[in-house]
Amino acid sequence: MQDKQQQLLIIYTGGTIGMLPSAEGYRPSAGIQQLINSCLGEKLLAQLQPFHCLEFEQLIDSSNAQPRDWLQIALRISENYQKYAGFIILHGTDTMAYTAAALGHMLGKNTKPIIVTGSQIPMSQPRSDALSNLIDAASFARSAQISQVCLYFGGKLFAADNVTKAHSSQLCAFDSPNGQPLARANIALDFYQPQPESSLKKDKTQSGFQLQPLAHNAVAVLMLYPGISDAIIAAALLDKATKAVVMLSFGAGNLADCNRYLMQSLKEARSRGTVIVNMTQCYGGAVAQGAYAVGSTLNKLGVISAKSRTLEDVVTDLYINLDKYL
């Protein structure tokens, strides 16, 4: 049994890990503590202890997760921060990478392990990956080498700002498109070198936790594609309520500069002060804005390159730190 200093708080928000089958498919189900007790058995339970479970009243499929839910998780962590050595957030996989990224931005001054995890197969079902994810997440949540928000899944520990859901059916569902995981749960926990931080990364000098409502109505995502309509461009770029747009461009940050409506709308949005972040829609690699003539106007317009950041990281950063971009 671990000592009291190693006490963990497991926050259960819903997701496949605790779901039960229903006539309409898997649904969130209450009672995570009993489920853990019955599925783990005495020996594994002893490995996981000491821990407390905090279960959200409204358990959700994470496809329904909203910025207010991230805020609720962050609040629970901040209320219980002094009492626990580390935190495990049990969450659905669909939007897990957004939640992890958002928590990373909200809890900037955090120095304790906060590990977001879940499973592809419910804990109650045969061949479930829930127990190994939970037990490994607990090992990382007690590790002195972790002092940040991370996502653990399928043997790999990822930094919250560098992870995405990469597969809908494989048990190793997450990936770091640019760079390697922070650690792997092999026979031992094997840690790797920290990743270099992008120059756009959050301001580490921010004080305390940022737990105010998020500016999610002010942020839009515009996916470019051949034949995009003026209406879609206008909806993303010219809405007066929009203060920041993440533009998913081609390759190294290119766009159809022959599309006059698009170019004019970008110009208009920038002249109003709208922040535009240029992100590649490629799975891996970075934006090199201006490497091609078709993308070079973006430099003149003051469009910001997302470099190799993930969509989850940029969108949640804009929700939380919009003022810093304006």
* Active site residues per annotation: 16
Half-sphere exposure of 151 (CA within 13 A, CB side): 34
Looking at the Cβ atoms of 61 and 230, the one nearer to ligand ASP is 61
Name the site residues for ligand ASP (rule: CB under 6 A).
15-16, 61-63, 92-94, 118, 120
The smaller minimum CB distance to ligand ASP, of residues 103 and 287, is found at 103
Question: Which of 94, 312 has the CB closer to ligand ASP?
Answer: 94
Q: What minimum distance in Å lies between the beta carbon of 175 and ligand ASP?
A: 15
Sheet holding 156-159, edge to edge: 51-60, 8-14, 86-90, 114-117, 149-153, 156-159, 183-185, 189-191
Tell me how long the chain is.
Answer: 326
Under 8 Å between Cβ of 99 and 65: yes
For the CB of residue 110, give the shortest distance to ligand ASP in the complex, in Å.
24
Shortest distance (Å) from residue 25 CB to ligand ASP: 9
| Peptide bond preceding 50 in cis form (omega within 30 of 0) | yes
Beta strand pairing call for 156-159 and 244-249: unpaired
Cβ-based nearer residue to ligand ASP, 95 or 249: 95
Beta bridge partners, 189, equal 185
**Among all residues, whose Cβ is closest to ligand ASP?**
92
In the complex with ligand ASP, which residue's Cβ is closer, 252 or 311?
A: 311
- As measured in angstroms, the least distance from the Cβ of 81 to ligand ASP is 26
Q: What is the 3-state secondary structure (H, E, C) of 86-134?
A: EEEEECCCCCHHHHHHHHHHHCCCCCCCEEEECCCCCCCCCCCCHHHHH
In angstroms, what is the minimal distance from the CB of 95 to ligand ASP? 6
Residue 39: partners with Cβ closer than 8 Å, 6 or more residues away: 123, 124, 128, 130, 131
Rounded least distance, CB 7 to ligand ASP, Å: 26
> What distances in angstroms separate CA 323 from CA 1, 208, 241, 319, one per listed residue?
46, 17, 15, 9
Return the number of other C-beta atoms located less than 10 Å from residue 299's C-beta.
13
- Closer to ligand ASP by Cβ: residue 15 or 104: 15
CB nearer ligand ASP, residue 28 or residue 295: 28
The Cβ of residue 276 has, within 10 Å, a number of other Cβ atoms equal to 20
Which amino acid type is present at position 184?
R
What DSSP element (H or E) covers 162? none
Please report how close the Cβ of residue 161 comes to ligand ASP at its closest, in angstroms. Answer: 20
Cα separation, 62 vs 14, whole angstroms: 7
